[in-house]
Amino acid sequence: MGAGQPSWSSRFLFLRIVQEIVVFRLGIGMRSTTQLAPTVYSERTFDDFYLAEYPQQVRRSYLMLNCADLAQDVVADAFAEVFRRWSDLQDPGPYLNKCVVNGCRKAGAKRTKQRSEALSIETPDKPTNFETAEFAELLMGLSHRQRASIVCRYYGRMTEQEIAEILVCQPGTVGSLIHRGLAQLRKELT
């Protein structure tokens, strides 16, 4: 195996990810995930990276899309993209964040287009908790950039600089997006 190529265990994990996607699409269900603390690795393997990042990325994606199945699909696609570029990435975390946010944007746009073409209103997947459902409904009323900024800042605990890199904008723009998004949320709550 050449230098910089993913190990066989990484390839095996990638195949397990693909298998999980198939299992989810067949409706067998979602395994419970536990919150994993961020880990610093001296030699980070794809397996370790996947295990550490998957749960929080799915939660973040769910907050942006308000659909568990779609969130899992977006995150799986993002990990597949990271895996393809694994040997070229010095720090895969920011690249994964960017892939997830862009995947959520594309999936949200596609879902909106499908809804308008069908001319019917679907009821979104409902979370089990009323407060969560109400919050998710409010988030869905924001623009993608406002929603992504707020979720990354307050849920993902990212800095404005990190969010700016993901959204490809200036840090000041991120501050403005967060401020306007929060103002809109406050207005909706009163």
pLDDT at 155 over 80: yes
Task: Please answer whether residues 135 and 147 qualify as being in contact, where contact means their C-beta atoms are separated by less than 8 angstroms.
Answer: no
pTM of the model: 0.57
pLDDT of residue 33: 42
Q: Backbone dihedral region of 168: left (phi > 0), alpha (psi from -120 to 50 degrees) or beta?
A: left
CA distance 144 to 166: 13
pLDDT at 117 over 80: no
Residues 22 and 54 in one domain: yes
CA distance 23 to 93: 26
Residues 17 and 95 in one domain: yes
Residues 99 and 144 in one domain: no
pLDDT at 37 over 50: no
- Please give the tally of structural domains in the chain: 2
Range of the domain at 55: 1-123
Residues 75 and 36 in one domain: yes
Tokens representing residue 160 in the block: 């404005």
Residue whose C-alpha is closest to residue 153's, from 140, 144, 162: 162
CA distance 135 to 64: 11
pLDDT at 154 over 80: yes
Residues 172 and 184 in one domain: yes
Per residue in 90-112, pLDDT tens? 899 999 999 999 999 999 888 76
